[in-house]
Amino acid sequence: MGKNPKVVIVGSGAGGATTAFELARAGIDVLVLEEGQREQHAHYGNGSLEAMEKLYRRRGMTPILGRVPMGYVEGCGYGGSTEINSGFWHRTPREILLRWQSHYELDQADPEDLYRHFEWAEAELKVGYNQGDLPASTRAFKKGIVEMGWSASEIPRIGPYEQGRQNSAPANDPRQSMSRTLLPQAEEAGANFMMGCRVRLLTKHRNRITGVLATLKHDDGSEELVRIDADAVIICAGATETPALLLRSGIRYNVGNSFRVHPMLKVAALFEDVIDAHQDVIPLLQVKEFWPDISMGGAFFSSGHLAMLLSENWPKNRTYLSQYRNMASYYVAVRGTGKGTVRSSRLGKGHTFVRYNLSDEDLRHLSNGFARLCLALLAAGAKEVIPSVYGLSPISSELQAVRWLDEQLPKSALSLTTVHAFSACPMGERDDRCAVNSFGQVRGVESLYVNDASMLPDSPGVNPQGTIMAFARRNVQHFIKEGL
C-alpha cells in the first residue's frame, strides 16, 4: 500500500473486525490499527498467566474505581476481547431495543431491522448449542434451577473449531473468535493490518478528522510516531479506550460520562461429588427468571481463579483448595444502572481512568441475586457456597441464604469484577444524551465514527458481542451506502 488509506479503523475486536470485513468486501481501502500483537492461539493452552500477559490489556486487569472498586478484564490484541471471552451469544433482547428507541431515539433499531445482521453473524461464527453431554458443573446447576422452578436456557455459543482451517486452535478450545473468522477474511479481501500501533490522537483540520497520530512499536523495541492520513476514521478501540481517544483529541460532547458495566459477584460451590470443573468448559446455562436485571450462570474455573475467589477470606477459606475437584464457580451479574466515567489522564502517558459508582439498585440486585444463586446451588446439592465477600461465612443452609433477599450485602466487603463494559459514547438522536448519531457518526465532527461497545446506549443486560456485531454491521452498511 503506497498511498493513504481511505478508512482507518482503530481496533480489531468485535466491532473493528466487523467493520473491516464489511468495508474490505465493499472494495474500500482499509487500514486496521491494532495496539496489541497477533498472538498465536496456542497461548490459550499455556495457562492463565501467559494468556493474561499476551492477550489482556494491562496484563490482565483494568482497575475500575468507585464506591466499590472492581476489576475489569479486557482483551488487547488481534481480535480484541473476542479472543478471551466465554463465547456466549445473545441477540439484543427486544425490550432493550425498544428502550433504546424510546430513551435515546435510536433510529432503525427495531428487532426486524437487526435480524438479518444477527443471522449473518451467527452464520459466520457458527453459533450453536453444545452437542455432547452437559459438563458436570452445568448438570449440577441445572438440577438446582429445576428444583427452584426457574426458567433457564442453555446459551448458544460461538461455534466449535472447524477442522482443516489454518492457524489451528487447541482441540479443547471451540471459540470462533474474530482472529479465526472475520479478520482473516477481511485480510483476504484487501484490508491491511498494522500491529503494535497505538493511536495517540486524531488529527483534525477545522472540523474534519484527517487521520491519526499513532505510536508504532517495532520488533527491536524502538518506537516511531507516525501520522496516517485518511478520508475517514472509525474508532473500535473498546469501551474504555474509544472514549479516552476522543477525549484526548478534544471531542468531549457526551463522551465518557455514561460508562456502564455488568457488575458481577462470584461464588464457589462445594459439592459432594467430583465435578472436575477445571477440565470442562464453563457452565452453559444462564438463569433468565430475573432477567434483565439479574442473571446467573457459571464462571471460568481453575485452581488459580478459585484461589482468587477464596482470597477475600483466605485465612479461613484456604482449606477449600484441597477440595477443588468438588468445586465449581458461578456468578450473579446485574444490569448496571449506576453511572461511570472514562477519562484520559492529563498527566502521564495516555493512561485511562475508569470509574463506576455502584447504584443502590445494583447493590439490591446483587444481594438478591446472590441469595437466589445460593438457594439454587444448595438445591442442586452443594454442601456450601463460598462468596467473594469479606467477612461473610460460607452459606450452608437456605435460611442463611434467604437473609440476603431482604438485607443488602455490605458494600465495602464486596469483591466485584466485570467483563462487560459499554455506553461511554452512546448512540442515538438525543442531543442531551448521545455522543454519536444512530449510525455511529460522532457529533460535531466530520469523517469520524464509533463502532464498538462504547456506542451501545446502555447496558444490554446480556453478553454484548452479538449486539456489538449486529449494530456494527448495520452502521458500516449505512456508511457504505451514504458515502463519506
Partner 1 sequence: MSIRSLISLFLGLCITGAFLFLALRRLDILQILEVIRGIDLFPWLPLGMVSYLIGHFIRGLRTRMLVSSVVDLSTAITTQIVVLGYAVNNVLPARLGELARVGMLRDRGGVSLTYSFTITLVERLLDGFAILVLLGLSAVFLNIEGMLIAPVTWIAAGLVSIALGLGIVMLAPDSVMVFASRFAQFVCPKWHDRLLSMVTSMINGLGYLRNPAQLILVFGVSLLVWLFEAGLFWFLFPAFKLTMSYAQAVMTMAITNLGILMPSSPGFIGTFHFFCMEALLLFDTEGAVALGYASVVHLAFFVPITLWGAGIVLWYGIELGALLRMSSRARTLEKVADRGLTSISQAQGVAALPIQPTKFYRNLVAALIPLQDVSADKMDMVKNDVSIFVYGQICSFPQRYVVLLNIGLWIFRIFVFFRTGHRYASLTHESQNRLVSIWAYGKWSVCRQLFRPIRSIALLAFYEHPEVVNMFVTKHNTGSSNG
Q: Tell which positions 20-79 bind partner 1, by CB under 8 A.
A: 31, 47-49, 53, 58-61, 63, 69, 71
Answer for the pair 62, 240: CB distance below 8 angstroms, yes or no.
Answer: yes
Q: Give least dist CB 137 to partner 1, A.
A: 15
Please report how close the Cβ of residue 334 comes to partner 1 at its closest, in angstroms: 21
Active site residue 262: no
CA distance 390 to 414: 7
Nearer to partner 1 among residue 71 and residue 184 (C-beta): 71
From the CB of 40, what's the least distance to partner 1, in Å? 19
Per-residue contact string for residues 229-268; x = within reach of partner 1 by CB under 8 A: x------------------xxx------------------
Smaller CB distance to partner 1: residue 42 or 274?
A: 274
Q: Which of 306, 382, 395, 424 binds partner 1 (CB under 8 A)?
A: 306
Q: 95: Cβ–Cβ under 8 A, 6 or more apart, which residues?
A: 292
- Helical packing angle, 136-148 and 360-379, nearest 10°: 100
Minimum distance from residue 1 beta carbon to partner 1 (Å): 5
Give the separation between CA 119 and CA 340, rounded to whole angstroms. 32
Restricted to residues 2-21, the positions that interact with partner 1 (CB under 8 A) are: 2-5
Q: Tell which positions 178-207 bind partner 1, by CB under 8 A.
A: 194, 200-201, 203-205
Considering the rule CB under 8 A, would residue 303 count as an interface residue with partner 1? Answer: yes
Contact status: 313 vs partner 1 (CB under 8 A): yes
Quick one: 98 or 189, whose CB is closer to partner 1?
189
Nearest to 395 by CA among 484, 330, 477, 478: 330
- Residue 455 in grid coordinates: 456506542
Catalytic one of 41, 90, 117, 420? 420
* Shortest distance, position 249 Cβ to partner 1, whole Å: 7
C-alpha 246: how far from chain center: 20
Residue 382 Cβ vs partner 1, minimum distance, rounded to whole Å: 13
Among 37, 168, 185, 302, binds partner 1 (CB under 8 A): 302
For the CB of residue 62, give the shortest distance to partner 1 in the complex, in Å.
Answer: 8
Which residues ranging from 433 to 462 are in contact with partner 1 (CB under 8 A)? none
Shortest distance (Å) from residue 231 CB to partner 1:
12
Q: Which stretch binds partner 1 (CB under 8 A): 18-26, 133-141, 340-348, 420-428?
A: 340-348
d(CA 199, CA 235): 10
Q: Which is nearer to partner 1, 94 or 351 (CB)?
A: 351
Q: At CB < 8 A and 24+ separation, what contacts does 139-143 make?
A: 140/269, 140/271, 140/275, 140/328, 140/377, 140/380, 140/381, 140/382, 141/283, 141/285, 141/297, 141/298, 141/328, 141/330, 141/376, 141/377, 141/380, 142/285, 142/380, 143/379, 143/380, 143/381
Of the candidate residues 132, 149, 164, 315, the single one contacting partner 1 (CB under 8 A): 315
List the grid coordinates of 306. 478459585
Span interacting with partner 1, options 18-26, 323-331, 362-370, 445-453, rule CB under 8 A: 323-331
| Amino acid at position 246, single letter | L
Please name every residue paired with 264 in a beta bridge, in sequence order, or none if there are none: 333, 417
d(CA 195, CA 217): 8
Nearer to partner 1, 39 or 293 (CB): 39
Strand partners, 31: 8, 192
CA distance 13 to 469: 10
Of residues 210 through 229, those in contact with partner 1 by CB under 8 A are 213, 216-218, 220-229
Give the containing element (helix H, strand E) for 303: helix 303-310
**Which lies closer to partner 1 via its Cβ, residue 347 or residue 399?**
347
Check binding of 98 to partner 1 (CB under 8 A). Answer: no
Q: Which of residues 401-420 bind partner 1 (CB under 8 A)?
A: 412-413, 415
Q: Which is nearer to partner 1, 203 or 400 (CB)?
A: 203
Task: Evaluate whether 440 touches 233 at the Cβ level (below 8 Å).
Answer: no
- Among left, alpha and beta (phi > 0; psi -120 to 50; other), residue 399 is alpha
Residue 102 to residues 105, 115, 412, 454, 470, Cα–Cα distance (Å): 5, 19, 35, 19, 19
Q: Which is nearer to partner 1, 318 or 403 (CB)?
A: 318
Size of the site for partner 1 (CB under 8 A): 76
Let me know: does 470 contact 121? Beta carbons within 8 Å: yes
Residues in the chain: 484
Q: Contacts with partner 1 in 112-171 (CB under 8 A)?
A: none
**Residues numbered 266-295 forming contacts with partner 1, rule: CB under 8 A:** 272-274
- Cβ of residue 264: shortest distance to partner 1, in angstroms? 15
Would you say 129 or 390 has its CB closer to partner 1? 390
State the minimum distance, in angstroms, from the CB of residue 166 to partner 1. Answer: 25
Q: Which of residues 372-391 bind partner 1 (CB under 8 A)?
A: 390
CA distance 432 to 436: 11
Please identify, using beta-carbon distances, which residue of 354 and 468 lies nearer to partner 1.
Answer: 354
How distant is the alpha carbon of residue 285 from its chain centre?
18
Catalytic positions, please?
420
